[in-house]
Structure 1
Amino acid sequence: MGSLALTSMHGTANAADAIKIGEINSYTSLPAFTVPYKQGWELAVEEINAAGGVLGRPLEVISRDDAGKPGDAVRIVEELLSRDKVDLIAGTFFSHIGLAVADVAKRQKVFFMAAEPLSDAMVWSKGNRYTFRLRPSTHMQASMLAEEAAKLPAKTWATIAPNYKYGQDAVAAFQRLLKERRPDVKFVAAQWPALFKIDAGAEAEALAAANPDAIYNVTFGGDLSKFVREGSLRGLFKDRTVVSLLTGEPEYLEPLKDETPDGWIVTGYPWYAINTPEHKAFVNAYDEKFGESPKVGSLVGYNTFMSIAAIIEKAGSTDTEAMVDAAEGIEVSTPIGPITFRKSDHQSTMGAFVGRTAVQNGNGVMVDWRYANGADHLPGPDEVKHLRAGN
């Protein structure tokens, strides 16, 4: 995917006045998530510019594809800063890429709004003054799931997760948080397939051989579909509870269709059942513009750029230090309710929906869901000081 510039001019603003945002993401590596994400921020930019922009200036987005490679991402960010003279950086999906960009933000002292990378290191062990993250982290979502898992009778657990930073963090957080609630549980097996190279049949057989009471799954995308299919064929999920990170998201449920497993405990996004006026307005605007329903990526993209606009507005300029100061503690309105970017670690309190999977009319959906506020699943300021002590 090449570059994309979105600019809408209103009032007396002209191209020289535009606020330039450098945006990067893994568009060709994971289009199921990143394309809806792109559509989400396009909608936000359109709405912001139609309302007169920010500080009377339109937003211009210069978008690049990092091809899922940290080296490419770093090179692109350097180009956006030196050649395109962007005012700030936004985006990224994979955790190892987000961490690489965060390092550039720290070195170059440029504001970076990380949209999606979920690794806890983004805001804790590798956190820095210039990096903020929108999406609920692995710790936050693992905490939400551990809260539900602790209610189960299961005492022995097995895990499966992609073998890179996100998967490693997600498993470590869930194990720690579940054991805090249930000291009697044991983890008896762990499978670590390479990202998007899963041998699902072999992984399912290895998990079955361990005979756990329950499974914690962190696979996503094509790996998830293969794991569900092969696990179902081998009876892996029969009479066994599965707790699964991200599986309730439309990006991953929709491809499964009637193969969606029944009763998995998941985090996700039941857009079709959220009936607040703010959310309905978002869904209607998204459908009107793109002719389809939103995904989690859509919501993340939209919230990312609405947050950026609110931060610049509060800062009164695009000066980096002013934006950082403005972002710390700011509250932003979103289609799923207000969120706050915490001063202590720059993590937003955006939450996630927790429920169970089911099949309705041949499609995978979330049922019996609730919204878990991200603020309820984050450590306090004193613990954050310890977590960020080395940076």
Structure 2
Amino acid sequence: MPRAGHRTGRRAVVVAAAGAAALAAPRLARPQGGPIRIGEINSYTAQPAFLQPYRNAWMLAQEQINAAGGIDGRLIETVFRDDAGRPEDAVRMAGELVGEERVALLAGGFFSNVGLAVSEFADQRRRLYVASEPLTDALVWSRGNRYTFRLRPSTYMQCAMLVEEAAKLPAKRWAVVAPNYEYGQSAARWFKELLGRARPDAQFVAEQFPALGRIDAGATVQALAAANPDAIFNVTFGADLTNFVRQAATRALFERRRVVSLLTGEPEYLLPMLDEAPEDWIVTGYPHDQLETPAHAAFRDAYRRRWNDHPRLGSVVGYDTVRAVAAMLRRANGTGTDAMVAAMRGLKFDGVFGEVEFRAIDHQSTMGAFVGRTVLRDGRGAMADWRYADGRDHLPPDEVVRQLRPQA
């Protein structure tokens, strides 16, 4: 993935507790101990479209918690690190955060391979890791461990949501295009397996796995067209998605073919395409401008006041990660790792989309996603005919989880 030239310095620390305390001085309880420090590691310079809104909402949630008195009078501080999408850098930074910055826990992660590397570090060093975004199922199943918990709905969950709609299509011949790393491979595997169960007549006639951030969109489109599929399952995102859509439109790949696409309905990826955004794709995403539940409206309005911008899906993930950590800390009544891990198991908290629970059996949260189709409105992509798919309804039963996660 192309990266910006700037990288956050290795000892860069962002501490918002003092500012939040000053803003809320009339209401803030006197701290009863030192601040609780969270070590947050993410691929900020590699994925700014998702992670800048994520960080903005993280700070908003932290400021709100501190303004309300923190955790039993203790403020929250966050020490941010930028791994630039490199697993080896993320592991090194995790060591610095634990050893030098003395953080109580680790959080964050965007790319699946980076999240798996931090998870392995957490297991070896016996430190809690609350993974925000990495979507690979290995994080909580085949390579899951006692210390790692994940917020976002996984590739399995989102593929299960999409298969419900894909199975209704008349298409029999399918093609797949996905980035060639853990997330893309996991998504392709689960979509093929789940669609095969729902539609035994489905055939997969082509697969393309371009390198992440280096898609040869013309060649990819040509290979897919040569297979003459009835429908396409797309897993590309960001700049790769934009390039793929442009080349496919030039070569009429989508004419008379349905596309089912992971993440494309998220504002981070849909809005930048402007009037080039594809229409009538079945997608997972976030209808940020249409969702009017009380919890979402309160979050959206607070985000707009703080940042003079609308939230993205990354904003929801950042905000809910902090709220989950805060709920865990209140339940744990301390920052000992064993107490925090125990508090995370079965933890429930009120998220932007509704109540979320971190399942004790596999440490996966029940956060859901929105499923709908893409349309053009006022020259930009949007979601239509959407519904909220609760994560609880798209996870395998416990007996299957025990096979996928041997230590469950």
TM-score by length of 2: 0.94
Q: Which residue of 1 aligns with 2:215?
A: 198
Task: Give the Cα–Cα distance (whole angstroms) in 1 for the partners of residues 185 and 109 of structure 2.
Answer: 18
The 3-state SS of whatever aligns with 1:267 is: strand
Q: Which residue of 2 aligns with 1:114?
A: 131
The 3-state SS of whatever aligns with 1:365 is: strand
The reply on whether 1:249 has 2:259 as its aligned counterpart is no
Q: Which residue of 1 aligns with 2:256?
A: 239
Task: Give the Cα–Cα distance (whole angstroms) in 1 for the partners of residues 391 and 361 of structure 2.
Answer: 15
The reply on whether 1:318 has 2:354 as its aligned counterpart is no
Task: Give the Cα–Cα distance (whole angstroms) in 2 for the partners of residues 89 and 117 of structure 1.
Answer: 14
Match of 2:34 among 10, 13, 17: 17
The reply on whether 1:340 has 2:357 as its aligned counterpart is yes
The reply on whether 1:297 has 2:314 as its aligned counterpart is yes
Q: Which residue of 2 aligns with 1:7?
A: 17
| Aligned-pair CA distance for 1:5 | 2.3
Q: Which residue of 2 aligns with 1:258?
A: 275
The reply on whether 1:213 has 2:230 as its aligned counterpart is yes
The reply on whether 1:182 has 2:199 as its aligned counterpart is yes
Task: Read off the aligned partner of 2:260 and give its amino acid letter.
Answer: V
Task: Read off the aligned partner of 1:172 and give its amino acid letter.
Answer: R
The reply on whether 1:368 has 2:392 as its aligned counterpart is no
Q: Which residue of 2 aligns with 1:307?
A: 324
Task: Give the Cα–Cα distance (whole angstroms) in 1 for the partners of residues 209 and 352 of structure 2.
Answer: 36
Task: Give the Cα–Cα distance (whole angstroms) in 1 for the partners of residues 37 and 397 of structure 2.
Answer: 35
| Aligned-pair CA distance for 1:11 | 2.3
Q: What is the aligned-residue RMSD (CA, Å)?
A: 1.0
The reply on whether 1:157 has 2:157 as its aligned counterpart is no
The 3-state SS of whatever aligns with 2:354 is: coil
- Tell whether the 8 Å contact from 1:125 to 1:390 is kept in structure 2 after alignment: no
- Number of equivalent positions: 390
| Aligned-pair CA distance for 1:12 | 1.5
| Aligned-pair CA distance for 1:7 | 1.7
Deviation digits for residues 362-384 of structure 1 (CA, Å, limit 9, x no counterpart): 11000000000001110111111
| Aligned-pair CA distance for 1:150 | 0.3
Deviation digits for residues 122-160 of structure 1 (CA, Å, limit 9, x no counterpart): 000000010000000000001000111000000000000
Identity of aligned residues (%): 56
Task: Give the Cα–Cα distance (whole angstroms) in 2 for the partners of residues 175 and 146 of structure 1.
Answer: 9
- Unpaired stretches in structure 2, ≥5 consecutive residues: 1-7, 22-27
Task: Give the Cα–Cα distance (whole angstroms) in 1 for the partners of residues 319 and 134 of structure 2.
Answer: 16
The 3-state SS of whatever aligns with 1:271 is: coil
The reply on whether 1:379 has 2:396 as its aligned counterpart is yes
Q: Which residue of 1 aligns with 2:163?
A: 146
Task: Read off the aligned partner of 2:351 and give its amino acid letter.
Answer: T
- Tell whether the 8 Å contact from 1:24 to 1:92 is kept in structure 2 after alignment: yes
The reply on whether 1:282 has 2:299 as its aligned counterpart is yes
| Aligned-pair CA distance for 1:6 | 2.3
Task: Give the Cα–Cα distance (whole angstroms) in 2 for the partners of residues 87 and 390 of structure 1.
Answer: 25
Match of 2:117 among 87, 100, 120: 100
Q: List structure 1 segments (4+ residues) > 3 angstroms apart after TM superposition.
A: none
Match of 1:36 among 25, 50, 53: 53
Deviation digits for residues 288-309 of structure 1 (CA, Å, limit 9, x no counterpart): 0001000000000000010000
- Tell whether the 8 Å contact from 1:6 to 1:62 is kept in structure 2 after alignment: no
The 3-state SS of whatever aligns with 1:323 is: helix
Task: Read off the aligned partner of 2:372 and give its amino acid letter.
Answer: G
Task: Read off the aligned partner of 2:219 and give its amino acid letter.
Answer: A
Task: Give the Cα–Cα distance (whole angstroms) in 2 for the partners of residues 289 and 23 of structure 1.
Answer: 21
The reply on whether 1:267 has 2:277 as its aligned counterpart is no
Task: Read off the aligned partner of 1:130 and give its amino acid letter.
Answer: Y
Q: Which residue of 1 aligns with 2:4?
A: none
The 3-state SS of whatever aligns with 1:333 is: strand
- Unpaired stretches in structure 1, ≥5 consecutive residues: none
Task: Read off the aligned partner of 2:31 and give its amino acid letter.
Answer: A
Task: Give the Cα–Cα distance (whole angstroms) in 2 for the partners of residues 95 and 261 of structure 1.
Answer: 26
Task: Give the Cα–Cα distance (whole angstroms) in 1 for the partners of residues 278 and 404 of structure 2.
Answer: 37
The 3-state SS of whatever aligns with 1:246 is: strand
Task: Give the Cα–Cα distance (whole angstroms) in 2 for the partners of residues 168 and 47 of structure 1.
Answer: 38
The 3-state SS of whatever aligns with 1:62 is: strand
Q: Which residue of 2 aligns with 1:56?
A: 73
The reply on whether 1:330 has 2:330 as its aligned counterpart is no
| Aligned-pair CA distance for 1:195 | 0.1
Task: Give the Cα–Cα distance (whole angstroms) in 1 for the partners of residues 109 and 279 of structure 2.
Answer: 32
The 3-state SS of whatever aligns with 1:338 is: strand
Superposed, which structure 2 residues align to 1:346-357 within 5 Å?
Answer: 346-357=363-374
Task: Give the Cα–Cα distance (whole angstroms) in 2 for the partners of residues 207 and 40 of structure 1.
Answer: 39
Match of 1:171 among 170, 188, 195: 188
| Aligned-pair CA distance for 1:67 | 1.1
Task: Read off the aligned partner of 2:85 and give its amino acid letter.
Answer: G
Task: Give the Cα–Cα distance (whole angstroms) in 2 for the partners of residues 6 and 122 of structure 1.
Answer: 30
TM-score by length of 1: 0.98
Q: Which residue of 1 aligns with 2:102?
A: 85
| Aligned-pair CA distance for 1:17 | 1.0
| Aligned-pair CA distance for 1:390 | 6.1
